[in-house]
Amino acid sequence: MIMKKRETVIIFSAHSDDFVIGAGGTIAKYSEEGKKVLVFVMSYGEKSHPWMKDNVTKKFRSEEAFKASEVLGCTTTFFNLKEFDFKEEAKRKRLIKKIKEIVITEKPSKIFTHSDEDPHPDHRATHLLTLDVFDLLKKKPDVYIYSIWNPVSMKTLDVPKMYVDISSTFKKKLQALKLFRSQYQAILPLSLQTLFRNLKAGLKIKKKMGEEFYKIK
C-alpha cells in the first residue's frame, strides 16, 4: 500500500511573533489536520531591546517563539538576519539559495509570507525574498500573503482571497500570542487589531473567526 505524502506548508516570518499574528489560527488548524507546518523566521528582532546584549535578546525571543510553535503545532527555524538589513544579510549568507533548497526538499503546497504593503521594511524585505525564491523554482507552490501592520490592502483588491475558518483554533492563537511577554507593548495593540481583523474575516465566511490571505502566485 502506497502511503500518501503528508502535505507541507511553509510560513516565512520577518520576526519571532509575526507568524502568530498573521497566520496563527491557520497554522494551528493545518497542524490539527495533519499537515506539516514549517515556519522560517528571518530575524530574532534583537533591536526591540537595545539596552540588552544581542545574545540575551535572541535567547528569550527565540524561546518565546519556540513555545508559541509548540502551542500551534509547527516547527520554527531562525535565519538570524540583522534587522533593517535583510537584503545585504541574505546576500552575505546566500539565503536565497538555502531557502530554494528547503522548498525543493519539502515540496510545500502553499507558502505564506508578508505583504509588500506593510510599512515595516523587514516585512517588505521578507516578501521580496520569498518572491526571489519563487522565481527560481521549477515546481511552483501557491503563494499567499498575510497582513500585520497594514489593515487595508489596496494592491490586492482584485487578487483572489483565501479565507480560513479559525473558530476552533483562535484560542490557540491567543494562547501563543500571550507567550511573547517581551513584546507586550507591541503585542497588545496588535492583538486588538488582530481580533478585529479575524472577526471581520469570520463574517465574510459566516463563521465566528477567520483569517484572510491574498493569493499572489
Residue 57: C-alpha distances to residues 49, 60, 185 (Å): 7, 6, 16
Cβ within 8 Å of residue 214, ≥6 positions away: 115, 144, 145, 153, 156, 159, 160, 161, 162
3 domain-assigned: no
Per-residue pLDDT of the chain (217 residues; tens, 9 = 90+): 566 789 999 999 999 999 999 999 999 999 999 999 999 999 988 665 554 666 777 888 999 999 999 999 999 999 999 999 999 999 999 999 999 999 999 999 999 999 999 999 999 999 999 999 999 999 999 999 999 988 666 666 788 999 999 999 999 999 999 999 877 666 677 778 889 999 999 999 999 999 999 999 9
111 domain-assigned: yes
Rounded distance between C-alpha atoms, residue 196 and residue 12, angstroms: 23
56 domain-assigned: yes
65 close to 17: Cβ distance less than 8 angstroms: yes
Q: How many CB atoms lie within 10 A of CB 62?
A: 17
Domain count, the chain: 1
27 domain-assigned: yes
1 domain-assigned: no
89 close to 95: Cβ distance less than 8 angstroms: yes
Query: Residue 51: its pLDDT value, please?
Result: 47
Rounded distance between C-alpha atoms, residue 140 and residue 77, angstroms: 22
Query: Residue 150: its pLDDT value, please?
Result: 80
2 domain-assigned: no
Query: Residue 55: its pLDDT value, please?
Result: 77
Q: How many CB atoms lie within 10 A of CB 79?
A: 18
180 burial via Cβ count (<10 Å: 0-12, 13-18, 19+) = buried
Nearest Cα residue to 15 out of 148, 135, 142 = 148
65 close to 76: Cβ distance less than 8 angstroms: yes
CATH assignment of the domain containing 66:
3.40.50.10320
What is the Cα 140 distance to its own chain's centre?
19
Helices 184-204 and 170-178: angle between axes, nearest 10 degrees: 170
Per the structure, the complete domain to which residue 83 belongs is given by: 8-215
